[in-house]
Amino acid sequence: MDLSLSTDWHPLLTRWQLTVDGEAFATAGSRLLPVLWQGRPAMLKRALTPEEQSGGVLMQWWNGDGAAYVYAHHDDTILMERATGPGDLFAMAMEGRDDEASRILCATLARLHAPRAAPPPTHLVPLRPWFRSLETAAGSDVRFHRAWNTAQALLDDPRDPVILHGDMHHRNVLDFGERGWLAIDPKCVTGERGFDYANLLTNPELPTVTRPDRFRRQFDVIAQAAQLEPRRLLRWVVAFAGLSAAWFLEDGDDDGIASDFAVADLAQAMLDG
């Protein structure tokens, strides 16, 4: 992928009078460049996919409440505030502060889910189409079938609809110093708020995610902090873990599938017990 500064960034550096403040880098769906804007640390983010571009629109709609503030936007690129605080939720979860990290994630989601006066973005995607990958995989394994059945029942009886983050995990909420913990990298999806909280329990990057003691403890912390009905949250965990496993199946990631199935089994065991 070409990350040439002269090719990609110069027009925007001129447009917004920016100073480069770090090396450009890429994620699966975007290119990013640390900059200074009016003396403030900021980040240029250019969307490479429609999904990423929609996420930028949602960031603008949140207007800095629970999410990084967007200073400016042009076509497929946003200029947003940059996290410079020392905190790291992933490190906290790995260093004995798992409860605190989960409560911060829940508090961030509560801010994002709160009603807004401004009309919502027009191109929100409902949750049901997101589950097509799980529907496709449902015939390939009994655990995919179980997850798809659970997902269908939840989608047929939606509760507490909100505009979701869609990809809430420990690396998508960052320390913005005096502004506190704020979200980045949302999707543009709408549905039951329990979907976002289920994601917190399935992060395959956390090596502790499949430990039964850790799962039960963090489930209790999250259900209480989010004020969610426990059995419904467990059902969302089964559904979301199955969906995540279906995405890993498409990517050929056996480790990701195994992690998600293990989490789904833990949630199902609690439902059955």
- Residue 47 · residue 41 · CB < 8 Å: no
Q: What is the 3-state secondary structure (H, E, C) of 76-103?
A: CEEEEECCCCCCCHHHHHHCCCHHHHHH
Which letter does DSSP use for residue 178 in this model?
A: G
CA dihedral 105, 77, 48, 200 (to 10 degrees): 0
Which letter does DSSP use for residue 119 in this model?
A: P
Burial class from Cβ neighbours inside 10 Å (0-12, 13-18, 19+) for residue 118 reads: exposed
Q: Is 39 helix (H, G, I), strand (E, B) or coil?
A: coil
CA-wise closest residue to 196 among 89, 109, 101: 109
- Residue 218 · residue 200 · CB < 8 Å: yes
CA distance 15 to 243: 41
Please identify every residue annotated as catalytic: 167
CA distance 51 to 29: 8
